[in-house]
Structure 1
């Protein structure tokens, strides 16, 4: 990603986690854990492990990144030339210890485990942003729980809702995202150590003990068996991020539509230089929504690559595994960036209550047609009530009249309802169903989780 665009689509901390130097740091951490685990079990001398640990403190600064980049293109993965450089760095300090660098492991063990460590740290950042979005949506749902607005279906005016209800639905989605993250952690944060074909034959009868010690060194789960060719852990992480990003895209679509000139009910926060046009001085563009929607557009394409990469050959694959290296960092960065943009909007959005009220009135009462029908249904039957109100709606539209006036003049209505009752039926606030109970349920769920 160009640095010129990074601030628009990405999030700084997650971008750093997937930087080249960070990857090398994670790989060093994995090699150190491998040596420590093998020394603990007695596979390599403890003196060798101690030397590798000591050298690792300064190894990152000694790696020739430019040479590594060139060699990676020839080797097919970064681990091969990386291990050569790391071994040389250790050898310069302790030739005997250098013999035990990368002992019994294969390139994919190092890269897969480093990837899991990256994902764990990046997911912690995602979880923090997601929690902030959740808490902010809860607060705003409470703030606007009684702010009546029009609910829209198929981009048309439907029935009254409250803005707080829309925000409570967002909060509920965030809660489910957080629950998904918690549920998958024990499955996906798992070490990878299998050697050439997953048998760890190079470690003879010590393979299982080394794997367990290796996982413990990194605070990862111990795998029941190696998973070089089974990529469901990586795919589960990416799928969860894709769902989060898609949900954010839905929210961004909502607030961008609410910012339309003809609607003008909700606006993104203002700031100097934000949302302007290079030619139209009056414009206030939904720039955060554009960023989030771009992420929601891009991530499914990346997920197609990740899903396709599950089809691998035998014990270790050709190409499928490699495709993850491109897709996973970008999915993480786009998801985190979309969360950061969404949080900014949730915290600083501007709500135009007057326009919400005006838009409720623009159909001249047609949005209350269902309320009228349901009020009449106990007296006339639902189907007859539907026909009567449908006819009244046509008359109101054809004559440019308010539906309430047409309904109030009907004999079939006057015999059951007074003018005051009809007026009450046409109040949007009187036809909100169980919205307040739903909001309460979302807020109570959050309180229960906080205990």
Structure 2
């Protein structure tokens, strides 16, 4: 990603986790953990493990990045030239210890474990952002629970809702995202150590003990068996991120539509240089929504690559595994960037109650046709009531008058409703169904989580 576009789509802390330098740091961490684990159970001399650990603390500064970049193209993966360089760095200080660097491991063990460590740290940041988005949505659901607005289906005005109900729905979706993220951790944050074909034959009868000690060193889950060729863990991580981005895309789509000039019910927060046009001084563009929607457009395409990469050959794959290296970092960065922008807008969204009221009134009562029909149905039957109100709606549109003006003289209406009864039926706040109960349920669920 170009630095010019990074501030539009990404989030700097997660981007840093997936930087080249950070990747090498995680690979060093994996190599050090392997040596320490093997030293503890006497697979390699403990003195060698100690020296490898000590050297590993500063080894990143000695890595030849340019040389590594060139060598990776020839080697087929970054681990092969990396292990050579790391071994040479250890050798400069201790010849004996350098013999035990990368003992019994294969390239994929180091790369996969480093990726899992990256994912763990990045998921920690994303979880914080997601929790923030959830809490903000809860707060806004309470704040705007009584702010009546028009609900829309198929992009058309439908029935009244409240802005708080929209936020409650967002909160509920974000809570499900948090639950998904938590539920997958023990499955996916798992160490990888299998050697050449997953048998760890080079460690003879110590393989299982080393895997367990290795995982403990890294505070990762111990796998039941090697997962070199089974990529469901990586796919599950990416899938949860894709769902988060999709939920954020839905939210961004909503507020971008509500920002349309003719609607003008909510707006993204303002700032100098934000949302303008290079040619039209009056424009106030939903730039945060654009970034999030771009991510929601891009991530599904990236997910196609991740799903395709599940089909691998035998014990270790050719090409499919390699595709993950490009895709997973971008999905993480797009997800974190979308969350950062969504949090800003959810927290600082500007609400225009006057426009909401204007739009509620813009159909001259047509949005309350169902309310009138259901009230009349209890008197004359649903089909008869539907026929009466439907014809009245058609006449109101043709005559460009309020629906109440058409209904009030009708015998079917006058025989059952007083003028004040009819007025009450046309109040949007009187036809909100169980919206308040839904908001309460979302808020109460959150309170239960915090106890």
The Cα offsets for residues 287-325 of structure 1, whole Å up to 9 and x where unpaired, read as: 000000000000000000000000000000000000000
Q: How do residues 153-232 of structure 1 correspond to structure 2 at under 5 angstroms?
A: 153-232=153-232
Runs (5+) with no aligned partner, structure 2: none
Tell me the secondary structure at the aligned position of residue 364 of structure 1: coil
1:44 and 2:37 matched = no
Query: Deviation at 1:57?
Result: 1.2
Query: Deviation at 1:379?
Result: 1.0
Aligned length: 451
1:421 and 2:432 matched = no
Tell me the secondary structure at the aligned position of residue 280 of structure 2: coil
State how far apart, in whole Å, the 1-side matches of 2:143 and 2:58 are: 52
State how far apart, in whole Å, the 2-side matches of 1:176 and 1:141 are: 17
State how far apart, in whole Å, the 2-side matches of 1:297 and 1:425 are: 42
Question: Partner residue of 2:412?
Answer: 412
Question: Partner residue of 2:441?
Answer: 441
State how far apart, in whole Å, the 2-side matches of 1:61 and 1:267 are: 47
1:122 and 2:138 matched = no
Question: Partner residue of 2:24?
Answer: 24
Question: Partner residue of 1:278?
Answer: 278
Question: Partner residue of 1:349?
Answer: 349
Query: Deviation at 1:58?
Result: 1.1
State how far apart, in whole Å, the 2-side matches of 1:400 and 1:300 are: 45
Question: Partner residue of 1:99?
Answer: 99
Question: Partner residue of 2:6?
Answer: 6
Tell me the secondary structure at the aligned position of residue 197 of structure 1: coil
State how far apart, in whole Å, the 1-side matches of 2:63 and 2:401 are: 78
Query: Deviation at 1:380?
Result: 1.1
The Cα offsets for residues 326-346 of structure 1, whole Å up to 9 and x where unpaired, read as: 000000000000000000001
The Cα offsets for residues 235-281 of structure 1, whole Å up to 9 and x where unpaired, read as: 00000000000010001100000000000000000000000000000
State how far apart, in whole Å, the 2-side matches of 1:51 and 1:399 are: 89
Q: How do residues 348-367 of structure 1 correspond to structure 2 at under 5 angstroms?
A: 348-367=348-367
State how far apart, in whole Å, the 2-side matches of 1:152 and 1:400 are: 22
Query: Deviation at 1:405?
Result: 1.1
Query: Deviation at 1:445?
Result: 0.3
Task: Give the TM-score, by structure 1 length.
Answer: 1.00
The Cα offsets for residues 391-447 of structure 1, whole Å up to 9 and x where unpaired, read as: 000010011110011111111000000000000000000000000000000000000
State how far apart, in whole Å, the 1-side matches of 2:292 and 2:57 are: 39
The Cα offsets for residues 359-395 of structure 1, whole Å up to 9 and x where unpaired, read as: 0000000000000010011111111111110000001
Tell me the secondary structure at the aligned position of residue 285 of structure 1: coil
Runs (5+) with no aligned partner, structure 1: none
CA RMSD after TM alignment: 0.4
State how far apart, in whole Å, the 2-side matches of 1:90 and 1:409 are: 95
State how far apart, in whole Å, the 2-side matches of 1:108 and 1:57 are: 22
State how far apart, in whole Å, the 2-side matches of 1:57 and 1:38 are: 18
The Cα offsets for residues 185-233 of structure 1, whole Å up to 9 and x where unpaired, read as: 0000000000000000000000000000000000000000000000000
Task: Give the TM-score, by structure 2 length.
Answer: 1.00
Question: Partner residue of 1:327?
Answer: 327
